[in-house]
């Protein structure tokens, strides 16, 4: 079972995240709503035990971020650089990650619920005990990923690149896997419907003639 974010009932209100981060690199036990942090740069930002709602981070560079026990709702992470970050007990609800860079990131007990992740880059990452539910990961890059206890539920994986990523034990029956990119040695143990399995036939070098 995925652990939910542990957030205190009482949180301080942070009214301007950009002004606050001009002098701080740590946000703790805060609630931030209807704010903008566009094209902002800060390495190794630490955020914990907080809630974000309707916050726009578009184009910001936040590599090596450390996110713990956070809920992000209706937030925009379009084209944000979060490479080599660590996310533990984080929940994203109705968030946008188009073109977001998560390369080399560690995910532990992370929930993506109804998120747009088109073209999102997660290469060389480790994803543990996490869930992607009703998400659009069309053309996302998940190459060379380590997946452990990960679920994809009713998500769009059209042309998603899973090359060099083992799909063993992954249940994709509720997902759209049209044009999925993977290698024959990576699909062993994947769980599919009979119709979906036809998409993998060509990866095995099999020709079917009726």
Q: Which residues of the chain register pLDDT less than 70?
A: 202-210
Residue 169 near residue 150, CB atoms below 8 Å: no
Q: How confident is the model at residue 144, as a pLDDT? A: 98
What are phi and psi for residue 129, nearest 5 degrees? Answer: 50, 50
Residue 80 near residue 99, CB atoms below 8 Å: no
Q: Which residues of 35-46 are buried (b: 16+ CB within 10 A; e: fewer)?
A: bebeebebeebe
Residue 80 near residue 57, CB atoms below 8 Å: yes
Q: How confident is the model at residue 196, as a pLDDT? A: 84
CATH number of 25-204: 2.160.20.80
List, for residues 70-101, the tens digit of each pLDDT value: 999 999 999 999 999 999 999 999 999 999 99
Domain boundaries, the chain: 25-204
Q: How confident is the model at residue 203, as a pLDDT? A: 66
Taking the alpha carbons at both ends of the chain, their separation in whole angstroms is 45
Residue 12 near residue 33, CB atoms below 8 Å: no
């Amino acid at each position: 079972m995925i652990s939910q974010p542990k957030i205190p009932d009482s949180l301080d209100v942070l009214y301007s995240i950009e002004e606050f981060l001009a002098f701080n690199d740590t946000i703790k036990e805060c609630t931030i709503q209807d704010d903008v942090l566009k094209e902002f740069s800060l390495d190794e930002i630490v955020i914990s035990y907080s809630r974000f709602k309707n916050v726009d981070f578009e184009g910001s560079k936040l590599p090596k971020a450390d996110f713990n026990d956070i809920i992000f709702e209706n937030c925009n992470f379009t084209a944000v650089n979060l490479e080599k970050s660590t996310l533990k007990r984080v929940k994203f609800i109705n968030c946008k990650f188009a073109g977001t860079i998560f390369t080399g990131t560690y995910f532990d007990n992370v929930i993506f619920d109804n998120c747009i992740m088109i073209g999102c880059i997660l290469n060389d990452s480790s994803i543990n005990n996490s869930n992607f539910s009703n998400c659009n990961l069309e053309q996302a890059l998940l190459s060379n990923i380590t997946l452990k206890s990960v679920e994809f539920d009713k998500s769009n994986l059209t042309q998603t690149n899973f090359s060099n990523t083992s799909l063993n034990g992954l249940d994709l029956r509720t997902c759209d896997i049209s044009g999925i990119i993977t290698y024959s040695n990576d699909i062993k143990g994947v769980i599919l419907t009979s119709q979906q399995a036809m998409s993998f036939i060509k990866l095995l070098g099999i020709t079917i003639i009726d």
